[in-house]
Amino acid sequence: MFRMKKNVKGIGLLELMLSLAIIAVLLIFVTQYYQQTQVNQQINAGIQAVQSAYAACSQAVSDGSTDCSLSTLVTSGYLNSSYAPDSSNNVPANPFGGTLTVDYKSGQYTVTLGNVPPSRVCTSMVSKIYSGLTGNETIAYGAAGTAGVKGSDADDSTVISACDTGPNSLIVVY
Q: What is the rounded distance in angstroms from the CA atom of residue 10 to the CA atom of residue 53?
A: 62
The DSSP secondary-structure symbol of 167 reads S
Closest CA to 47 of 110, 117, 94, 98: 94
Pick the CATH number of 13-173 from 3.40.50.2300, 3.40.1370.10, 1.10.287.110, 3.30.1690.10: 3.30.1690.10
The angle at the Cα of 106, spanning 53 to 74, to the nearest 5 degrees, equals 25
Closest CA to 124 of 100, 151, 84, 95: 95
Mean pLDDT of the chain: 78
* Average pLDDT, integer, range 141-149: 57
Position 46 scores a pLDDT of 86
- Percent of the chain topping pLDDT 90: 9
Position 168 scores a pLDDT of 76
Position 28 scores a pLDDT of 93
The residues spanned by each domain of the chain are 13-173
Angle at which helices 120-132 and 13-62 cross, to 10°: 40
Q: What is the rounded distance in angstroms from the CA atom of residue 32 to the CA atom of residue 38?
A: 10
